[in-house]
Amino acid sequence: MTEQGTANGQAAPRPAILTVDDDPGVSRAVARDLRRKYGEDHRIVRAESGADGLDALRQMKLRGDLVAVILADYRMPEMNGIEFLERAMDVYPAARRALLTAYADTGAAIDAINVVDLDYYLLKPWDPPEEKLYPVVDSLLDSWRSADHRPVAETKVVGHRWSARSSQVREFLARNQVPYRWYSSDDQEGKRLLEAAGADGMRLPLVITPDGDALVEPSDAELASRVGLATTPSEAFYDLIVVGGGPAGLGAAVYGASEGLRTVLVERTATGGQAGQSSRIENYLGFPDGVSGAQLTDRARRQAAKFGAELLTTREVVGLEVNGSARRVDFGDGTSVGAHTVILATGVTYRQLTVPGIAELTGRGVFYGSALTEATSCADHDIYIVGGANSAGQAAVYLAKGARSVTLLVRGSSLERSMSHYLVQQVAATPRISVRTCTEVAAAHGADHLERLTLRDSRTGATETVDAGWLFVFIGAAPLTEWLDGVVQRDERGFILAGPDLVADGSRPQGWPFDRPPYHLETSVPGVFVAGDVRAESAKRVASAVGEGAMAVMLVHRYLEML
């Protein structure tokens, strides 16, 4: 296959015209004539057999290219023009089709009008092209243009709504602000993409990168590197390592980098943290109409990158070491990176619901905090949400926009005790939301996805089973800080102690080397600071997390001046 009509040999995002002819002389002549009139606005792609032509179409499909017109010679060995066009239709059903025939074959061409929905047949030779070729191609292009063919240059995900890994991949891409288009493996276009990639659909999802590479069931790290997210530090040593990419970590990265510190932020999954999963943050300063977590994260990421901070995703920190004045953080894959200072901003992670059936059905109807990603899939369905705090209330209000009904399952006797007043009012004012207090989930049932829930009345112990396809769980969160065992002091629940909390009884932390007490957000290890939800006694709010990130950077400067 050869491509022509592109400046400097690079593929341009122009619709393609494909010609297939087994006679190289004829093939070149068609391409030459097409290039002369259409080469500026179209890619002219030439193939010399049906098989070659199909390969070219599949590659273009994976890249998300547009194909406007396909011209195929009728008489070709192995696969004739009609057979080729029939198979080409499976890949590009909207492309306009014409058959090149000799006079003797016009009967076959007329039959093909029905078989492959042929738009035209052209008699060879077509000289002069101004009279015989261009008017036909003009009209094919006009008819193709009259339909909607917006280019799909973004990442494509072919999956199934009950495939747990498919929903994790969607969530990962969404949270990393990677634009993608979702195709169900049951739909025609999904099937076409699977076929084009040579995938059987048994292992899902299939992810097709903007470059046209097909990845089957990719890991987060593989995805990150293939969709353009940085995963490895560019240097061995920094002024500041920020661990965690939620509001506190992003805040620290913005202030650190903008104030001249060589800063790297290391995030386990996707930046944004818990806030990234919030449908609408209404109480963050400067956004009177609220802001979605995704928007806030996107802006913060861009801001941090603008100031020169390096942002790494899909890198989990599993260890912290102290060597004199140097601090080192270790990654799960055995590599590490060093710095003068570290800010721990690892936040908290959703608590798991531990009742029979839930673990098996997670990602298959049961979701933790992925209400935003799944919202379109569960439109017009009945949805259950477990939890009585703000995160559950926000999810209920958000999902109620599309769902048939939303039922909030609350263990306590009222919402008022656990949810902000403004959200309680919004829940009450939304007719599609009903609240069941004193109710807990006792079990989840379903073969390959959630089908039923057993609910228990916490006062009487009575149980009832309800049909349910969707359950979102928001039952609080805990810090994941075991990896700091023996290095950084934490309270009995795992939250990191800092500043005044370390010296509550008047004595300095064990092994503390300085005359001064720890700075306000400094941990029991000098030069290692903490910010946001992971700090003991923190406020658990976006604004305070961002504020602590900024304040920790100010203390980093103070620490560095004393070194």
For residue 268, state whether it binds ligand FAD (rule: CB under 6 A). yes
> Could you tell me the smallest distance in angstroms from the CB atom of residue 466 to ligand FAD?
24
> Could you tell me the smallest distance in angstroms from the CB atom of residue 241 to ligand FAD?
10
- Show the beta-strand stretches assigned E in 267-404: 310-312, 317-323, 326-331, 336-344, 349-350, 366-368, 382-386
- Pick between residue 95 and residue 242 the one whose CB is nearest to ligand FAD: 242
> Could you tell me the smallest distance in angstroms from the CB atom of residue 397 to ligand FAD?
11
- Pick between residue 31 and residue 275 the one whose CB is nearest to ligand FAD: 275
Distance CA 327, CA 337 (A): 9
> Could you tell me the smallest distance in angstroms from the CB atom of residue 347 to ligand FAD?
2
- Pick between residue 168 and residue 185 the one whose CB is nearest to ligand FAD: 168
Question: Do 34 and 44 form a contact (C-beta atoms < 8 A)?
Answer: yes
Within 334-373, which residues bind ligand FAD (CB under 6 A)?
345-348, 369
> Could you tell me the smallest distance in angstroms from the CB atom of residue 120 to ligand FAD?
56
- Pick between residue 197 and residue 275 the one whose CB is nearest to ligand FAD: 275
Report the residue from 19, 155, 274, 407 that binds ligand FAD according to the rule CB under 6 A.
Answer: 274
> Could you tell me the smallest distance in angstroms from the CB atom of residue 398 to ligand FAD?
9
122 to 76, 119, 352, 428: CA distances (angstroms): 16, 10, 65, 67
- Pick between residue 109 and residue 484 the one whose CB is nearest to ligand FAD: 484
Q: Measured at the alpha carbon of residue 509, what is the angle toward residues 503 and 514, in degrees to the nearest 5? A: 100
Tell me whether residue 278 is exposed, middle or buried, using C-beta atoms within 10 angstroms of its C-beta: 0 to 12, 13 to 18, 19 or more: buried
Q: How far apart are the first and last CA of the chain?
A: 64
Rounded to 5 degrees, φ, ψ at 215 are: -120, 125
For residue 277, state whether it binds ligand FAD (rule: CB under 6 A). yes
How many Cα atoms within 13 Å fall on the side-chain side of residue 279?
Answer: 20
For residue 528, state whether it binds ligand FAD (rule: CB under 6 A). no
Within 237-256, which residues bind ligand FAD (CB under 6 A)?
243-249
Distance CA 249, CA 545 (A): 8
Tell me whether residue 555 is exposed, middle or buried, using C-beta atoms within 10 angstroms of its C-beta: 0 to 12, 13 to 18, 19 or more: buried
> Could you tell me the smallest distance in angstroms from the CB atom of residue 290 to ligand FAD?
8
- Pick between residue 215 and residue 250 the one whose CB is nearest to ligand FAD: 250
All residues at 6 or more sequence positions from 556 whose CB lies less than 8 Å from its CB, including other chains: 239, 240, 256, 261, 341, 343, 527, 529
Report the residue from 30, 152, 257, 317 that binds ligand FAD according to the rule CB under 6 A.
Answer: 317
Question: Do 45 and 3 form a contact (C-beta atoms < 8 A)?
Answer: yes
- Pick between residue 188 and residue 219 the one whose CB is nearest to ligand FAD: 219
Distance CA 531, CA 248 (A): 6
> Could you tell me the smallest distance in angstroms from the CB atom of residue 329 to ligand FAD?
8
For residue 191, state whether it binds ligand FAD (rule: CB under 6 A). no
Sheet holding 67-73, edge to edge: 2-4, 43-47, 16-20, 67-73, 96-101, 120-123
Q: Give the count of beta carbons closer than 10 Å to the beta carbon of residue 373.
A: 20
> Could you tell me the smallest distance in angstroms from the CB atom of residue 418 to ligand FAD?
13
> Could you tell me the smallest distance in angstroms from the CB atom of residue 553 to ligand FAD?
14
Closest CA to 529 of 540, 518, 537: 518
183 to 170, 189, 191, 193, 207: CA distances (angstroms): 11, 7, 9, 9, 10
- Pick between residue 46 and residue 175 the one whose CB is nearest to ligand FAD: 175
DSSP H helices, 160-260, are 164-175, 188-196, 220-226, 247-258
Within 374-393, which residues bind ligand FAD (CB under 6 A)?
390-391
- Pick between residue 205 and residue 246 the one whose CB is nearest to ligand FAD: 246
Q: Measured at the alpha carbon of residue 58, what is the angle toward residues 52 and 64, in degrees to the nearest 5? A: 140
> Could you tell me the smallest distance in angstroms from the CB atom of residue 325 to ligand FAD?
23
- Pick between residue 140 and residue 304 the one whose CB is nearest to ligand FAD: 304
Report the residue from 205, 233, 518, 532 that binds ligand FAD according to the rule CB under 6 A.
Answer: 532
- Pick between residue 4 and residue 430 the one whose CB is nearest to ligand FAD: 430
Distance CA 552, CA 250 (A): 12
Closest CA to 315 of 374, 367, 249: 249
Question: Do 58 and 47 form a contact (C-beta atoms < 8 A)?
Answer: no
Report the residue from 275, 291, 304, 415 that binds ligand FAD according to the rule CB under 6 A.
Answer: 275
Residues in contact with ligand FAD, counted by CB under 6 A, come to a total of: 37
Distance CA 386, CA 404 (A): 17
Choose one: 111-119, 128-136, 264-272, 450-458; the region binding ligand FAD (CB under 6 A).
264-272
> Could you tell me the smallest distance in angstroms from the CB atom of residue 251 to ligand FAD?
8
For residue 518, state whether it binds ligand FAD (rule: CB under 6 A). no
Q: Which residue has the tokens 């699977």?
A: 194
- Pick between residue 5 and residue 276 the one whose CB is nearest to ligand FAD: 276
Choose one: 176-184, 204-212, 232-240, 273-281; the region binding ligand FAD (CB under 6 A).
273-281
Residues that bind ligand FAD (CB under 6 A): 243-249, 266-269, 273-275, 277-278, 281-283, 316-317, 345-348, 369, 390-391, 394, 480, 532-533, 540-543, 545
